[in-house]
Amino acid sequence: MEKLTKEKIKQGLEVLDAGMDGKLFTHLNSCVHCGLCAESCIYYLAFPEGKFIPATKVDLISSIYRRYITFTGKVVPGLVGARKLNDETIVEITDLFFGACTMCGRCVPHCSIGVDISYLVRKGRQMLAKMGYVPESLQSTINTALKTGNNMGITEQEFIETLKWLEDDLRFEVNDDTACIPLNEKGRNIIYTLNPREPKFFPLSISAMAKIFHVAGESWTLSTQMYDATNYAYYSGNHDEAGIITQYLFDEIQNLEAKTCVLAECGHGSRAFRWEGPNYLKKEYPFEVITSVEILANYIREGRIKVDPEKITECVTLHDPCNLARTGGIWKEQRYILRRSVKNFVEMAPNGIDNLCCGGGGGQLAMSEYNERRMKTGELKAEQIRKTGAKIVVTPCHNCVDQLTQLNITFKLGVQIKTIAEIVADSIVPQDQKVISKNESVEV
Amino acid sequence: MPTIEIDNRTLEVDGDGFLSNPDIWDKEVARLIAKYDGIENMNDKHWAVVNIIRRNFEEKGMAPMIRTICQETGLRLREIYELFPLGPARGACRIAGLPKPDGCV
């Protein structure tokens, strides 16, 4: 790790100089050390040590704030528990803020006075990013996205070849030679986005969504230039880089004159582009942005597609991605979809906005140095899944899918992990068929 | 540096179990990592996938697209997921001795 310099300290502290930022000032100064947050945190539940309590993280960043920004902290640091930024504190703060927090935010609703703890962890990461202490493994994914426009460095030619291959498959699947995956079409209702892991390694979810768009008769397109819904700079806390990545997608949506951007099933990507993006770019979007989950629920609600729950009879449970459910407030839509698309849906406990993080959020999947911790926090999720008795675990987030896949093997769960689009595509009724059930008349 | 031990041989790996030095890879190393993942016997299909990934890595410095793997081996997508339960990245690429790919894998 690079040595701390005066210049680095100065840059880092700019993030904490709350000045007129009332939110930062309030949250840095409000923790009453009640300890209620402890048992809401997957790290503390997996490793019951004081350093993993969310309040400890709050205390760490507040103590640095006090040391450099407040009068008493500057004059009598020992009296107010103010701490100096030195090489030792940097190691500690990097380990706790990058390596022991998924920014899942579960501690926030559990805080007795409402301190936005994950916001403070983000501020801490932002400070570390300013000082150049983002873990290399995480930075490498960001660099690839900045350089190539997608976080796996897929070339445009490779991407197009993959989509053509999937298009052949789609035509066979829906038995229609005119079915297609539209590329770079201007003026469509929807521009769809992807997580690059889909074209690279896991394209079943692209096929699923293409099939659904086809059956719904949607006017949509994919861009071959810029389709990446992820933004790992949201995780690193480097707002400048997060802004550049946001701008890439923003420009392409404008270029293709799409009315609505539909985000891939990606928790942090939804948060970064839809909810943080306008802040990164300091402007409102002139187009609509919604998540895949919302558009799928709308299709079913409006009757644009029909689903038949008899097609999926195994027991299905749902994992809520933190960024979508807890911070984005999107938790009803996935339930609306599943209750109509599968025969036997069971909830895990807790769920919805109180759900446990899978352990793979906050960039943890990219940072292999913290792998052991990630598997240990993930064990809580594995046990949640096991208790449901479900055979299929659905989650509208590719990052969660990857963590759950690893948990499935490590803890021998014997389940299948699927995205929501895959479930809908499996239960969808082809356009020319009608659903007939015992108690219902034929739906037209 | 983390290590994994299989059949009395110690391999240096990153926190995710990907080889720290891809150059030490050979068929024996592949067999060992596969065994570590619970794949006791690498069959012809396993080797076909691993060899294509390794060749692409040596020529282009990265893992191939899943399309290339499917088309060159003639295997169906779902077959590849069955052959490597951890998936093409954490399963097959790791056995082929590649560093961990960037992104959500």
**Residues A130-177: pLDDT tens digits?**
999 999 999 999 999 999 999 999 999 999 999 999 999 999 999 999
Which residues are A192's β-sheet partners? Answer: A222, A262
Task: Compute the nearest-CA separation of B36 from chain A (Å).
Answer: 12
Interface-testing mutation among A140, A146, A200, with chain B (most B C-beta atoms within 10 A): A200
* The CATH number of the domain covering residues in A6-133: 1.10.1060
Nearest CA in chain B to A363: B104
Task: Compute the nearest-CA separation of B45 from chain A (Å).
Answer: 17
Active site residues of B: 104
Model pLDDT for residues A311-360, shown as the tens digit of each residue: 999 999 999 999 999 999 999 999 999 999 999 999 999 999 999 999 99
Is residue B101 included in any domain, yes or no? Answer: no
Per CB-CB distance under 8 Å, the chain B contacts of A268 are none
What class does CATH assign to A145-300? alpha beta
* The CATH number of the domain covering residues in A306-427: 3.40.50
Q: Establish whether domains A6-133 and A306-427 are of one fold.
A: no
N-terminal to C-terminal alpha carbon distance within chain B? 21
Per CB-CB distance under 8 Å, the chain B contacts of A398 are 104
Is the Cα dihedral B15, B16, B21, B27 positive or negative? positive
Band of pLDDT at residue A1, cut at 50, 70 and 90: confident
Q: Is the peptide bond before A350 cis (omega within 30 degrees of 0)?
A: yes
Cβ distance B90 to A406 less than 8 Å, yes or no, reads yes
Higher pLDDT, A437 or B21: B21
Find the domain containing B26 and state its range. 3-95
> Which of A151, A199, A371 shows the shortest C-beta gap to B15?
A371
**A and B: number of Cβ contacts within 8 A:** 90
Q: Is the pTM of this model over 0.80?
A: yes
Q: ipTM of the predicted structure? A: 0.94
Model pLDDT for residues A88-147, shown as the tens digit of each residue: 999 999 999 999 999 999 999 999 999 999 999 999 999 999 999 999 999 999 999 999
Give the count of domains, chain B: 1
Cβ distance A154 to B104 less than 8 Å, yes or no, reads no
What is the CATH classification number for the domain harbouring B41? Answer: 1.10.10.370
Interface-testing mutation among A201, A235, A404, A417, with chain B (most B C-beta atoms within 10 A): A201
Q: How many CB atoms lie within 10 A of CB A136?
A: 9
Collapsing DSSP to helix, strand or coil, B31 comes out as helix
Cβ distance A203 to B63 less than 8 Å, yes or no, reads no
Domains in chain A: boundaries: 6-133, 145-300, 306-427
The yes-or-no verdict on residue A442 having pLDDT over 50 is no
Note the pLDDT of residue A302.
97
Residue A205 contacts B where some CB pair is shorter than 8 Å? no
Q: How many CB atoms lie within 10 A of CB A427?
A: 21
Per CB-CB distance under 8 Å, the chain A contacts of B66 are 162, 199-203
Model pLDDT for residues B50-62, shown as the tens digit of each residue: 999 999 999 999 9
Q: For residue A352, is it left (φ>0), alpha (ψ between -120 and 50) or beta?
A: left
Per CB-CB distance under 8 Å, the chain A contacts of B62 are 153
